[in-house]
Each structure stands twice: as structure tokens, then as C-alpha cells.
């Protein structure tokens, strides 16, 4: 996943909550496990666990971290951020 706004900062451990839902355990769809800044994408990119994640590509959720008091809108994207077709690899 990646933030919709490239300048937003994600936090590892943030939980995925659908728009319009309260950030409570019953509405928790998963969480961010790791993240890094990608110069190729121009923003942070993150990996995590998301219920039915592969079927949710293109969906936008909120990454909510109650301890850090942050909420960032994220887009669910393929984990293949660079060269998804493998053209660079195979020349």
C-alpha cells in the first residue's frame, strides 16, 4: 500500500479501517507490518496484513494509529512497485 497523499507519513503498526467506520477492533481489517520511503514511487510504501487483500487492489482505506494519533488515507496497490512485468530483469 501507499499513502494517497505522497507527503503523508505512515506508521508501522497502524490498523486498516474502512472510511466512515469507527477505529474499533470489530472494524479492523489488518495492519501495516513494515514501511520504507521509495524514491521510485516518490512516497512511502508499506507491506502489511489485510483481510482479502489481493481482491482489494485500488481500494482506499484509513491507516489509523491511535497511540500516535495519526490517520492517513492509503491505497491498496500491488506489492510489485518496480518493474512488475519483469522487463528490466529480462532485458
pLDDT along the chain (91 residues), means of 10: 97 97 97 96 96 95 97 94 82 74
- 90 to each of 41, 56, 82, 84, how far by Cα in Å? 21, 29, 14, 12
For the domain 2-80, what is the CATH superfamily, name and number?
Aminomethyltransferase beta-barrel domains (2.40.30.110)
Confidence at residue 48, expressed as pLDDT on a 0 to 100 scale: 97
pTM of the model: 0.87
Amino acid at each position: 500500500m501507499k499513502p494517497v497523499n505522497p507527503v503523508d507519513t505512515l506508521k508501522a503498526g497502524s490498523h486498516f479501517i474502512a472510511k466512515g467506520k469507527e477505529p474499533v477492533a470489530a472494524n479492523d481489517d489488518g495492519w501495516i507490518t513494515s514501511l520504507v520511503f521509495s524514491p521510485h514511487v516518490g512516497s512511502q510504501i508499506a507491506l502489511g496484513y489485510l483481510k482479502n487483500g489481493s481482491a482489494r487492489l485500488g481500494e482506499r482505506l484509513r491507516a489509523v494509529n491511535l497511540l500516535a494519533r495519526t490517520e492517513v488515507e492509503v491505497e491498496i496497490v500491488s506489492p510489485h512497485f518496480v518493474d512488475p512485468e519483469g522487463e528490466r530483469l529480462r532485458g
